[in-house]
């Protein structure tokens, strides 16, 4: 159940009690989001319910097994039982981490996702993937744990740093590329409105959030466990995750995915899968949103290729990519939505990305 309404944060307690009633509630958030919205979220539970807030430092570097165990230990020490609902209040980092805590705590308690970044609203909070990073790569340990509800309040986007807002646009553009050309064109058209002052409060932002959630839910609804069509959501993420890890998380996830989509759409043209011009349209859309499209010079292409092999999307000896045929259509409908690509092709494409 996705509940999206301006002001929904102040009714959070009601939404949570309706979707996942429990004896105790625990809000997991990061320091930045907690300072901005923690009290409002807790106050929405006014009445007899016990609500506690657990806070972690912000940032991707916190999405680890260590943080997972620290949060779990705090809950055990406070004697939370099975009759507990976890509320993930924050961006994708908090959502993935708190979701994984909930997935494993006493073999699983409900989680309600309350995404506070654009990226988390339109992507990370939808679809039930939770997990943590390891030194070998992103999201390598985790669980499918669909939320009991997702509560989206676009008003909280007003406090987002512009770079974080732009990073969220990368996943909206991805949704257009993988599923809907008309949506892609609408996204590109409204980018200046969304990024202008006040854009986060605009009806256009509400439509973008609803549109992207609809696309992601439709795909996940056909293939919850990523046996087939859900793989198309990984467009841009095989190279993107490698670049993100190699940047030491200096790049935001959405920024790394922007670079990854640029590279993978060029790769799609190089291997003859994508119609010529597809990569240019992808790159222009990302540039219009102020997103990076070139790999930072400190990252070696050979390291990127090597890290794609550590990616969990690997199957046997070949690396499979989710590649576009054109804007709005993905390749590989007859081959499980994945296209096996030789490293040499990837390497040649990366050399072009550095030059672009
Ligand atoms: N589970 C999935 O399906 C899925 C999908 C896409 C991405 N992800 C994951 O999501 C993560 C990226 O998420 P993200 O981009 O939201 O990053 P994030 O959670 O690190 O948030 C970015 C920054 O914004 C701050 N912030 C969050 N909300 C704010 C607000 N309303 N006002 C002011 N500051 C705010 C945070 O404190 C943080 O510093 C990655 O770990 C990625 O792997 C998961
Ligand atoms: Zn992503």
| Ligand number nearest to the C-alpha of 124 | 1
| Ligand number nearest to the C-alpha of 140 | 1
Instruction: Please confirm, yes or no, whether 216 is among the known catalytic residues.
Output: yes
The residues facing 56 across adjacent strands are 30
Q: Does position 312 have pLDDT exceeding 70, yes or no? A: no
| CA of residue 254 to ligand 1 center, whole Å | 9
Q: What does the alpha-carbon distance between residue 351 and residue 250 come to, in Å, rounded to a whole number?
A: 22
Residues 6+ apart with CB under 8 A from 19: 1, 110, 112, 148, 149
Task: Decide: 263 and 305 in contact? Cβ < 8 Å.
Answer: no
Q: What pLDDT score was predicted for residue 355?
A: 67
Residue with tokens 């999307």: 313
Residue with tokens 């744990």: 145
Residue of the CA atom closest to atom 13 of ligand 1:
92
| Ligand number nearest to the C-alpha of 170 | 2
pLDDT tens per residue, range 132-177:
999 988 899 999 999 999 999 999 999 999 999 999 999 999 999 9
Cβ neighbours, 10 Å, residue 336? 13
Closest ligand 1 atom number to CA of residue 131? 1
Can you read off the two tokens belonging to residue 198?
């006040």
Task: Decide: 296 and 270 in contact? Cβ < 8 Å.
Answer: no
Q: Report the predicted TM-score, pTM, of the whole model to 2 decimal places.
A: 0.96
Catalytic-labelled residue, pool 226, 255, 269, 320: 226
Task: Decide: 308 and 237 in contact? Cβ < 8 Å.
Answer: no
- pLDDT-derived band of residue 88, with 50, 70 and 90 as boundaries? very high
Catalytic-labelled residue, pool 138, 234, 244, 320: 234
What average pLDDT does range 237-251 have in this prediction? 96
Residue with tokens 């540039």: 287
Closest CA to 94 of 43, 34, 152, 49: 34
Task: Decide: 262 and 289 in contact? Cβ < 8 Å.
Answer: no
Closest CA to 224 of 122, 146, 167: 146
Q: Does position 328 have pLDDT exceeding 60, yes or no? A: yes
91 lines ligand 1 (CB under 6 A): yes
153 lines ligand 1 (CB under 6 A): no
Instruction: Please confirm, yes or no, whether 52 is among the known catalytic residues.
Output: no
Q: What pLDDT score was predicted for residue 356?
A: 59
324 lines ligand 1 (CB under 6 A): no
Instruction: Please confirm, yes or no, whether 175 is among the known catalytic residues.
Output: no
Closest ligand 1 atom number to CA of residue 93? 19
Q: Where is 164: in which H helix or E strand?
A: helix 162-179
Instruction: Please confirm, yes or no, whether 230 is among the known catalytic residues.
Output: yes
Q: Does position 318 have pLDDT exceeding 80, yes or no? A: no
Catalytic-labelled residue, pool 63, 174, 175, 253: 253
Q: What are phi and psi of 299, to 5 degrees?
A: -105, 125
133 lines ligand 1 (CB under 6 A): no
């Amino acid at each position: 159940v996705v509940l999206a309404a301006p002001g929904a944060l102040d009714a959070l307690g009601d939404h949570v009690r309706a979707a996942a009633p429990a004896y105790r509630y625990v809000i997991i958030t990061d320091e930045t989001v907690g300072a901005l919205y923690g009290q409002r979220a807790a106050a929405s539970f006014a009445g007899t319910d016990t609500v506690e807030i657990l806070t972690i430092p912000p940032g991707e570097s916190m999405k680890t097994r260590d943080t997972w165990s620290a949060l779990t230990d705090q809950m055990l020490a406070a004697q939370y039982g099975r009759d507990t609902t976890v509320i993930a209040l924050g961006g994708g980092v908090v959502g993935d981490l708190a979701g994984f805590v909930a997935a494993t705590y006493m073999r699983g308690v409900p989680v309600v996702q309350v995404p506070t970044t654009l990226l988390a609203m339109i992507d990370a909070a939808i679809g039930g993937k939770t997990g943590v990073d390891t030194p070998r790569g992103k999201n390598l340990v985790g669980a499918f744990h669909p939320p009991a509800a997702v509560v989206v309040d676009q008003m909280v986007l007003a406090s987002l740093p512009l770079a974080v807002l732009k990073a969220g646009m990368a996943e909206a553009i991805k949704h257009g590329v993988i599923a809907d050309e008309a949506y892609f064109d609408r996204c590109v058209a409204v980018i200046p409105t969304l990024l202008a002052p006040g854009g986060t409060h605009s009806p256009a932002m509400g439509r973008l959030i609803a549109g992207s959630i609809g696309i992601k839910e439709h795909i996940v609804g056909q293939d919850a466990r990523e046996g087939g069509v859900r793989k198309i959501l990984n467009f841009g993420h095989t190279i993107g995750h490698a670049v993100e890890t190699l940047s030491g998380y200096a790049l935001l996830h959405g920024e790394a995915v922007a670079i990854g989509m640029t590279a993978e759409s060029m790769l799609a043209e190089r291997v003859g899968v994508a119609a010529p011009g597809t990569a240019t349209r992808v790159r222009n859309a990302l540039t219009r949103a102020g997103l990076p499209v070139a790999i930072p010079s400190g990252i070696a292409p050979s390291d990127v290729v090597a890290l794609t092999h550590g990616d969990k999307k690997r199957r046997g000896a070949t690396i499979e990519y989710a590649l576009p045929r054109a804007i709005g259509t993905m390749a590989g409908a007859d081959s499980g939505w994945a296209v096996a690509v030789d490293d040499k092709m990837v390497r040649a494409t990366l050399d072009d990305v550095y030059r672009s």
